[in-house]
Structure 1
Amino acid sequence: MSFYSQAFAHLSVQKKNHTLWVTLNNPEQSNAISLEMVDSLTRVLRFADFDSLVRVIVITGEGTSFCAGGDVKAMQNKTGMFAGESNELRMRYMHGIQQIPKCIEELSKPVIAMVNGPAIGAGCDLAMMCDLRIGTEKAKFGETFVKLGLVPGDGGSFFLQRVIGFSKAMQMSLTGDLVSGAEALNWGLLNYLVPVESLLAETEEVGG
């Protein structure tokens, strides 16, 4: 059994030709990021970076969402990666969700986000960590932390402004408003805006 064919918690992986397709797979929670997903995603990405047969990595979401960000119920209940008091929570972030941006920044392979639906909070940040983003009119981006009384803690405050500039990043962060469709393309949140029915084919074309 190959590395990619094993079961990964909250993640599906498939290698097609020289492209590795990584699908966030927690659809009951709109692909919200869990501790299990963090572990699976970083393991797969680090392995793929050493795989000479992988030339490009595509990250997408199962179903109709790209990624809803953090698990709001876990936040409310202070469970999982949101358990503990302030210092413990800081350490959980450092050794948990913050491992994703650290991992992606260290990759030598290009990473494409195929944004098949809403990319909210940490999901928006994950898309910004990728080198290219391709999506449809169903793609929506939101830095909604402010609506929950949270500070972006997963690297988004760095990656978002690097992609769309300080002014637009501040607008998204301070308002929590969603950006979709052609506006996302104009802002630079998307590199490519394609028809829904063409998303997979167009992503394959961009990935070469």
Structure 2
Amino acid sequence: MSYVSIDRPVDGVAVLTLDRPERMNAMSFDVMVPVRDQLVALGHDNSVRAIVITGAGRAFCAGADQESAGRPPHTEGLARPGYALRSLDLLEDVIGTIRRLHQPVIAAVNGAAIGGGLCLALACEIRIASPAAYFRAAGINNGLTASELGLSYLLPRAVGSSHAADLMFTGRDLMAEEAARIGLVSRLADPVLEEAIAIGARIAELSQPGIELTKKSLHAGTAAGSMESYMPVEGIGQLYLRLLTDNFEEATRARKEGRPARFRDDLPR
């Protein structure tokens, strides 16, 4: 049985749905292995210009499945430490795959995003939340650290160090309105999936290499040591598209003519 579905609601946008609502789309390996594999496949599909991740039912993703986690592949014969390391590698690969994709990824957070589910949402470039959504850095409540799957890297960069510390040290629930106020999500919407698809459709109208380079520069800027060392990266991206496409000239013509721009991603030959 597949616990992941893929839909193409509009041209250029793919929706990946975690589809195990009876377990609140928890991170069992029966869910996360196909999530990773489907994301890789979508990344290779050049007709897909934006990807939306959401959950079926009342949850986005409830984090670790403590009752029916399944078994990750290729772990036969491993002792407990080796098994644990391979399991962690697989979950980290899901987060890393989202970050490595050419396309922007939009989290349509329809309900609970707990533990690893919060990490899954944080890995996406854009997060939209339903008014019913809530977030929890759950590890600290389970006698562990709150740091997992990139949380201690991504959360402070999303909301600032003080808000991140508050959430990680207390394990409290962050409700949707507060999440929007502190910047964890960019907006609230009901229905949230329709809003996320509309954002994806807008992205799909724009220059593909422009969007791809913007994603790369966004991530590089987050990790840069200083603005001075990073600004040449931005400049090179701008020059690359300015010299190799006619998109700037097309945007100028379109504004003068009062019409939408029709971008091409190569020069006329």
> TM-score normalized by structure 1?
0.86
- Counterpart CA distance in 2 for 1:68 and 1:84 is 27
Cα gap change, 1:174 to 1:158, in 2 (>3 Å): same
Query: 2:151 aligns to what?
Result: 156
Q: Does 1:182 align with 2:177?
A: yes
**Letter matched to residue 69 of structure 1:** G
| Structure 2: runs of 5 or more not aligned | 73-77, 202-269
Q: Which of these residues, 47, 60, 64, is aligned with residue 53 of structure 1?
A: 47
> Contact conserved, 1:38 with 1:99, CA < 8 A, in 2?
no
Q: What's the offset of the Cα at 1:153?
A: 2.9
Equivalent residues, number:
194
Q: Which of these residues, 138, 153, 163, is aligned with residue 132 of structure 2?
A: 138
Q: What's the offset of the Cα at 1:36?
A: 2.1
- Counterpart CA distance in 2 for 1:159 and 1:74 is 28
Q: Which of these residues, 187, 197, 205, is aligned with residue 198 of structure 2?
A: 205
Q: What's the offset of the Cα at 1:62?
A: 0.3
- Counterpart CA distance in 2 for 1:87 and 1:47 is 28
- Counterpart CA distance in 2 for 1:185 and 1:36 is 32
Query: 2:186 aligns to what?
Result: 191
What is the Cα-based RMSD across aligned positions, in Å?
Answer: 1.9
Secondary structure at 1:150's aligned position in 2?
Answer: coil
**Letter matched to residue 203 of structure 1:** A
Larger radius of gyration: 2
Matches within 5 A, 1:1-208: 9-16=2-9, 17-73=11-67, 80=71, 85-94=80-89, 96-151=90-145, 152-194=147-189, 196=190, 198-208=191-201
Identity of aligned residues (%): 32
Secondary structure at 2:91's aligned position in 1?
Answer: coil
Q: What's the offset of the Cα at 1:87?
A: 4.6
Secondary structure at 2:174's aligned position in 1?
Answer: strand
- Counterpart CA distance in 2 for 1:204 and 1:107 is 18
- List, as ranges, runs of 4+ consecutive aligned residues in structure 1 with deviation greater than 6 Å: none
**Letter matched to residue 205 of structure 1:** A
- Counterpart CA distance in 1 for 2:169 and 2:81 is 23
> Contact conserved, 2:112 with 2:135, CA < 8 A, in 1?
yes
> Contact conserved, 2:122 with 2:155, CA < 8 A, in 1?
yes
